[in-house]
Amino acid sequence: MPELPEVETVRRGMEPAMTGIRIAKAEVRREGLRWPFPPGMAERLTGATVTGLRRRSKYILGDLDTGEVFLLHLGMSGRILISGDPLGHFIRDHPATEKHDHVVLHMDNGARVTLNDARRFGAMDLIPGGGEGAHMLLAGLGPEPLGNAFDETYLVAALKGRNTPIKSALLDQRIVAGLGNIYVCEALFRAGIHPARRCRNISARRIASLVPIVRDVLTEAIAAGGSSLRDYRQADGELGYFQHTFRVYGRETLPCVTEGCTDTVHRIVQSGRSSFYCPTCQT
């Protein structure tokens, strides 16, 4: 599933083709994805101008001049494909329509924005402006890891006394929004913290150290266009490149990258997800 860096990369890719641009025509080619689309979605999108694009956790939010906001979640395999942008940001001609092109937005500037989702675990909805916080997918989310509310004081207080493994706690979207398996593994390696260590057994100093590390990992991943492992592509169809700099994720049995360490990367399963770590460097 695309994590925060991948979603942010897609959002940034959508901006030049959509922000300030009117949706000349919206095509909705099925009744829904993971959940049904809202009634009359094509008609409600057609003619609306996109005034801005935002991200909340792993969701993209598009502000419309009609007073509504469209919510987009890519699910497990969803992709946004942009073609025909006359500004030159995307040099692709419009491709032939594919089987899994479920929502197609024809923009006034000649761009075409397509939501393709083979496994149909994604979602799209329309929300009244200002009502995003009450939406079932957004209500209860924790602070953004790149926002000011996610700081050392907050994280120490949020994890104090918890008997939860630190890996599970950081994946809890109620504690911090947008973090996923890849980037938590990478952040814990940089912090030298074992993924199975219980939060209550980690000093406040070490927990606090995670805040700048998490920020650094996410910022580097965004700069690299995210990580392409299976289905993920940027909005222009290009791959992300952060996977080439993974220090532990997906590197089971390979040598630890820490200079002087003679151990290898190990893998354990936590709550059905693989955790990669170095048992020497992470305690």
Positions annotated as catalytic residues are: 2-3, 58, 273
- Of 27, 239, 218, 4, the C-alpha closest to 124 is 27
The 3-state DSSP class for residue 193 equals: coil
d(CA 61, CA 175): 21
Question: Are the beta carbons of 251 and 162 closer than 8 angstroms?
Answer: no
d(CA 79, CA 73): 10
Element spanning 43, H or E: helix 41-45
CA triple 15-79-87, angle to 5 deg: 30
Phi, psi of 277 (to 5 degrees): -165, 165
Q: Residue 121 is which amino acid? A: F
Question: Are the beta carbons of 243 and 141 closer than 8 angstroms?
Answer: no
Question: Are the beta carbons of 123 and 71 closer than 8 angstroms?
Answer: yes
Question: Are the beta carbons of 126 and 41 closer than 8 angstroms?
Answer: yes
Q: Residue 277 is which amino acid? A: Y
d(CA 230, CA 264): 25
